[in-house]
Amino acid sequence: MLTILAFLMVATFMTLIMTKRLSALLALILIPTLFAVIAGFTAGLGDMMFEGVRELAPTGVMLLFAILYFGLMIDAGLFDPLVKAIVKLVHGDPLRICIGTAVMTLIVALDGDGTTTYMITVSALLPLYRHMKMDIRIMACLVMMSVAVMNIVPWGGPTTRAALALGVDARELFVSLIPAMAVTAVWVLVVAWMFGMRERQRLAALPEDAVDEDATGDEVIREQMDGEDHRRPKLFWLNLALTLALLGLLMAGSIPLVILFMGAFAVAAAVNYPNLQLQKERISAHAGNAMATVSLVFAAGIFTGILSGTKMVDAMAGSVIAIIPPELGPYMAPITALLSMPFTFLISNDAFYFGMLPILAKTAAEYGLTPMEIARASLVGQQIHLLSPLVASTYLLVGMSGLELGEHQKFMFRWAVIACLVFLGTCLALGLFPLRTG
């Protein structure tokens, strides 16, 4: 019964936000609460919800100050040279813009941190997409697909979790998957090409004066300004040094992210806008976007707290494993790969890799599959994973892009599924894990 309620809860949540009958913020709070009451967990419900919020609180605070920091950097003009360079390269061509979006994100995402990648790429690309009247959903889709490809680097998270859970070497696991990552990256570029061709046709049908294909970088930048010019070109090198130092400390991991972004924001605000009134104006300009994103993170804490506290996560995982018939045992590698797609979406990476994966690996071992093969298979579903409402950085992407979560999920879902299948097919073709054991 608990398993059925858990799947019904997730299905209800996804249906409501994708059909826009309920906002993601309200659905994340109301739907799990309702199903927890139905399941009879009224007594401990408050504690479960608070625990979930408490676990995500540092992430929420970090995103709040990160959005404010990068918002100030955009206002100050840190990304203006990059925007101008992109405008010069693409020459107003939607196809070049789409392919450039994928290439740029694949490079930036080498740091393995989706949050940082979203901030940098969206900050640089959103003005261009808006100026060109291009579909913002395309930008968000290409950025997330590119991040998902690079999410498999050892410092990205999932690979390390899989390696720790199964006792294999993280470096060896990552290196063996590089060919599959490369093929999936090519698929992302193919998707970018298809999107670009589609946008070419759509924009060509618009009135001649609707899109300024000959716009300069300065025109694109001016289009984003609201009244007074808040650019600080004389402070460009100082802002660049501050941002590079921030990113360096972020990757080094020597300072907690919350403290890092709070400190960086304080320095950026004091240096660029020493006047108190200007500081208030800049904070107010980005407060709406920041609060919309952070409120979703805290609401997601309610969802994850109830999912974990009621043991619905364990019920879903255990039930699926229990129904795998013995005759499918030789196919445990592709089964693990296919299960990683919905389950890294439905439950957290920690729950999947540390709770569910060891059981799958133990079952697979009886049919001659090695822990390394199962670890590789478990990483197939990362494209779907990033669409999950349980991934905090996803709210940052949709928040900065001005999209609804359900709208983004609906647009990207099929492309993410195909990308997972491309990764799976490449692994099978290269023998990284077998379709069937002998």
Residue 221 has pLDDT above 60, yes or no: no
- Which of the listed residues 268, 294, 320 is the one where a domain comes to its end? 294
**Identity at 128, one-letter amino acid code:** L
Same domain, 192 and 219: yes
Dig out the tokens for 335 from the structure.
């089964």
Report which of residues 37 and 318 the model is more confident about: 37
Q: For position 191, what pLDDT does the model report?
A: 96
- Asked whether residue 435 is assigned to any structural domain, the reply reads no
- In which domain, by residue range, is 390 found? 2-52+303-429
Q: For position 149, what pLDDT does the model report?
A: 93
Q: For position 310, what pLDDT does the model report?
A: 86
Between 51-55, 114-118, 174-178, 416-420, the lowest mean confidence (pLDDT) is in: 114-118
Same domain, 313 and 383: yes
- Asked whether residue 213 is assigned to any structural domain, the reply reads yes
Average pLDDT over residues 154-182: 85
Residue 366 has pLDDT above 70, yes or no: yes
Average pLDDT over residues 191-203: 93
Same domain, 223 and 360: no
- Which of the listed residues 262, 294, 326 is the one where a domain comes to its end? 294
Between 150-154, 165-169, 253-257, 416-420, the lowest mean confidence (pLDDT) is in: 253-257
Spatial distance between the Cα atoms of 238 and 272, rounded to a whole number of angstroms: 10
> How distant, in Å, are the alpha carbons of 21, 29, 92, 347 from that of 34?
16, 9, 49, 18
Report which of residues 314 and 274 the model is more confident about: 274
Block residue for tokens 């899989």: 162
Q: For position 224, what pLDDT does the model report?
A: 52
Dig out the tokens for 401 from the structure.
């892009």
Closest by CA to 427, choosing from 377, 382, 368, 383, is 377
Report which of residues 231 and 382 the model is more confident about: 382
Total structural domains within the chain? 2
Q: For position 10, what pLDDT does the model report?
A: 80
Spatial distance between the Cα atoms of 58 and 63, rounded to a whole number of angstroms: 9
Same domain, 140 and 123: yes
Of all residues in the chain, what percent carry a pLDDT higher than 70?
A: 93
- Asked whether residue 434 is assigned to any structural domain, the reply reads no
Same domain, 34 and 7: yes
Residue 123 has pLDDT above 50, yes or no: yes
Report which of residues 145 and 255 the model is more confident about: 145
For 20-46, write each residue's pLDDT tens digit. 788 878 888 999 899 999 888 888 888
Same domain, 76 and 119: yes
Q: For position 215, what pLDDT does the model report?
A: 55
pTM: 0.75
pLDDT-based confidence at residue 269 (cuts at 50, 70, 90) = very high
- Asked whether residue 82 is assigned to any structural domain, the reply reads yes
For 186-195, write each residue's pLDDT tens digit. 999 999 999 9
Spatial distance between the Cα atoms of 202 and 367, rounded to a whole number of angstroms: 52
Q: For position 227, what pLDDT does the model report?
A: 47
Q: What is the DSSP letter of 352?
A: I
Closest by CA to 147, choosing from 391, 377, 373, is 391
Average pLDDT over residues 110-132: 81
Same domain, 74 and 160: yes
- Which of the listed residues 294, 323, 347 is the one where a domain comes to its end? 294
Closest by CA to 14, choosing from 408, 421, 418, 289, is 408
Same domain, 207 and 143: yes
- Asked whether residue 256 is assigned to any structural domain, the reply reads yes
Calculate the average pLDDT of the chain.
Answer: 84
pLDDT-based confidence at residue 218 (cuts at 50, 70, 90) = low
Spatial distance between the Cα atoms of 200 and 133, rounded to a whole number of angstroms: 11
Residue 183 has pLDDT above 90, yes or no: yes
Spatial distance between the Cα atoms of 41 and 26, rounded to a whole number of angstroms: 20
Q: For position 220, what pLDDT does the model report?
A: 54
pLDDT-based confidence at residue 304 (cuts at 50, 70, 90) = confident
Average pLDDT over residues 193-205: 91
Same domain, 95 and 115: yes
Report which of residues 437 and 99 the model is more confident about: 99
Closest by CA to 133, choosing from 192, 214, 218, 202, is 202
Q: What is the DSSP letter of 241?
A: H
Same domain, 352 and 235: no
Residue 212 has pLDDT above 70, yes or no: no
Same domain, 311 and 290: no
For 76-100, write each residue's pLDDT tens digit. 888 778 777 777 777 778 999 999 8
8 A C-beta contact, residue 124 and residue 83:
yes
- Asked whether residue 436 is assigned to any structural domain, the reply reads no
Same domain, 19 and 111: no
Q: Is 129 exposed, middle or buried (0-12, 13-18, 19+ CB in 10 A)?
A: buried
Residue 181 has pLDDT above 90, yes or no: yes
